[in-house]
A and B are shown apart, each in its own frame.
Chain A
Amino acid sequence: MTSERTLSRLSRILALIPYVLSNEGASVAEVLDRFGYNETELARDLDTVFVCGLPGYGPGDLMEAFIDEDEVVIDAADYFARAPRLTSTEAISLLAGGMAIVASGQASRELESAVEKLSKAVVPDADMALSVDVSGESQMLGQLRTAATEKKVVTITYRSLGREIETTRQVEPWTVFTTLGNWYLQGYCRLVEGERNFRVDRIRKLQVTQQSFERPTDLPEPGVGYTPSEEDIVCDISLGPGAQWVPDYYPVEILRVTKNRTQVRFYSVDAEIPARLLLRLGAAARLLKGDEVAERVAEIGGSLLDKYR
């Protein structure tokens, strides 16, 4: 196997040569910045280019590549006047990335036109063959993003999932991100004095204050992992064939996997969330352990039976 490092080194060289050829007099500083090189790496790659060329491999056959004062010089490399095509992985990464930001309603005009031009060049019918939607409430996303950029504290009225408890909190917004179909606000919550993620669709009211805050320099990677705490409600559920999607969406610990069933341990702050999940799963899941959850299923279920019978 050829290492990823060799591949990305080759890919960078094949991109560097056409750039320098068509931008005569490109400065070392510019090339370093543009291609993410440090000086040693650039010197090493130019040395490599310098010993490659046409069969014969005599002085007149090799490419020229060196640093002259503060300019990068490459010559006699006409066959590399253009970079190689994007691989399909590079193409979909660039296109899907651009399309995701466009779909969030947060794209600049430049990004919109860039995605359009790139689609046309890469796949003439990209419009038909690729579609990325991460839509959220673009107005609120926009406000949160601006608040995060300008480092302004926001006041949110937040409804927790499940029991519908409403709280008003001051949050220092670090970033907004989307994963698994939902948008989250990640930041420091002054109410609980700690880092929290809030689902943007559960923010009922949002107000941007004039108060500034300092953002930590080392932001934790955004993610929606759930850290169980000692006060959590715990229950064990056996998931049948129709409920195999559950571990993708809920923070569960997988206890055992057999051919048709998965046994999971479910942690949550109250019994409401697992109870509602069990109701929607019907016969596709079985509660194995968890008295409080069983009680809550019976309660909600009883009230539903009254409505539907």
Chain B
Amino acid sequence: MQSVVERVINLLIYLLESPHPVTADQVRQTVPGYDQSSDDAFQRMFERDKNVLRRLGVPLEMKALDAWEVDHGYTVDPEKYAIPDPGLTQPEKVALSLAARMVRLGEGSAGLQGLLKLGGVERAMGLEPIGADLGAEAEVLGDLFRAVTERRRIRFDYRGHQRGLDPYGLAHRRGHWYLAGETSGDQRVFRVDRMEDLEIEEQSGSFTRPPGFKVRDMMKSQPWETGQDAAVTARVRFDSQVGWWAARTLGVPAAVDESLEAEIPVANRDAFVGWILSFGDSAEVLGPDDLRAEILERVESAMASLP
């Protein structure tokens, strides 16, 4: 009995070395392990093995064997198969491997597995006492990243609406992953963990990213800076209980008594009002008046919601 591992390696060698695309029948007759199975069993086995190759990162292609596209064959282009050499030095690989151990992205250890393809690193080093949990399932992110780099259109449900998107870039901010792109003429940002029923189109190269687009430009550093509301500048006073901390968040110096008066640009009023109220009565918006009115309204409705 041929093991799966042997069969897949032999299949890969056959596909890499054949000068022409090979048909499923040829695979069946040539590669050991497929020969003694029934038609159905062969189909299932071959499908599974093709899927294994793709999951290993092998660029398996299907090509028409004649002008009428009746017969199809499979091939792996050796040039596309080989990993481009990034020219990493040993210390650089060690640093990457340390980072891969420090940062958690979903459950698996895809980063470390990828590092082996780059030649691996000598281990024998302690763990650094610093870590980051980037949340999210690495598989979903991998799929989205592929859609971004191969410029494939995607479709998904978002808060009850069907969306089609040209995905331009992925960003991690404040504990969450976001996908930025263009949907019906608008550039928008979506939270990855709120996307449902994701479908990625087969066709690659479906769109071009606008020149100069950078995903980080779409991600503002504070939640109240990201939004579609008309931009206003809020004047806020934080008392000495919380001024030092607000100053840290905003990256400005607090007064000597640790209070703070700050001018803050706002493009998402809802997020801003929420943030201000998270200071309880230790922060007060001094202006503009319509923003004060919004806070008052929020407080009144919170009090009206009490049992």
Contact = CB atoms under 8 A, between A and B. Distances in A.
B56 A11 contact: yes
A170 B245 CA distance: 21
Taking residues whose C-beta sits less than 8 angstroms from the other chain, chain A's interface range is 35 or more
Contact of B114 (A53, A86, A117, A309): A86
A221 to B, nearest CB: 10
Contact of B241 (A30, A87, A164): A164
B172 A134 contact: yes
B123 interface: yes
A275 interface: yes
- Specify which of A16, A131, A223, A303 lies most central, judged by the most chain B CB atoms within 10 Å of its CB: A131
A131 B171 contact: yes
Interface in A84-143: 84-94, 96-98, 100-101, 104, 106-108, 110-111, 113-115, 117-118, 120-123, 125, 127-134, 137, 141
B43 to A, nearest CB: 15
Given A93-B105, A178-B133, A100 B9 contact: no
Contacts of B17: 54, 79
B306 A131 contact: no
Contacts of A309: 296
A28 B307 CA distance: 71
A145 B96 CA distance: 18
B114 A9 contact: no
A51 B18 CA distance: 19
A176 B139 contact: no
- Specify which of A14, A108, A137 lies most central, judged by the most chain B CB atoms within 10 Å of its CB: A14
B94 A52 contact: no
Contacts of B121: 34
A10 B52 contact: yes
B138 A180 contact: no
A164 B32 CA distance: 71
B110 A100 contact: no
A265 interface: no
Interface string B77-103: 010111111111101111110111011
B22 to A, nearest CB: 10
Contact of A84 (B56, B91, B130, B241): B56
17 contacts: A2-B51, A14-B117, A36-B123, A89-B142, A96-B105, A97-B100, A97-B103, A104-B132, A111-B99, A120-B86, A129-B169, A134-B134, A134-B172, A276-B279, A276-B280, A301-B302, A308-B296
Interface of A: 1-2, 4, 6-16, 19, 30, 33-36, 48-49, 51-55, 57, 79-94, 96-98, 100-101, 104, 106-108, 110-111, 113-115, 117-118, 120-123, 125, 127-134, 137, 141, 145, 148-149, 159, 164, 173-182, 201-202, 204, 222-223, 272, 275-283, 285-289, 294, 297-298, 300-301, 303-305, 307-309
Given A83-B119, A97-B102, A131-B214, 9 more contacts: A86-B114, A93-B138, A97-B99, A110-B91, A145-B129, A148-B130, A180-B135, A181-B175, A294-B307
Interface of B: 3-6, 8-10, 12-14, 16-17, 30-32, 48, 51-52, 55-59, 78, 80-89, 91-96, 98-100, 102-103, 105, 108, 110-111, 113-124, 128-135, 138-139, 141-143, 145-146, 148-149, 168-176, 209, 213-216, 219, 221, 241-242, 244-245, 248-249, 273-275, 277-282, 284, 292, 295-307
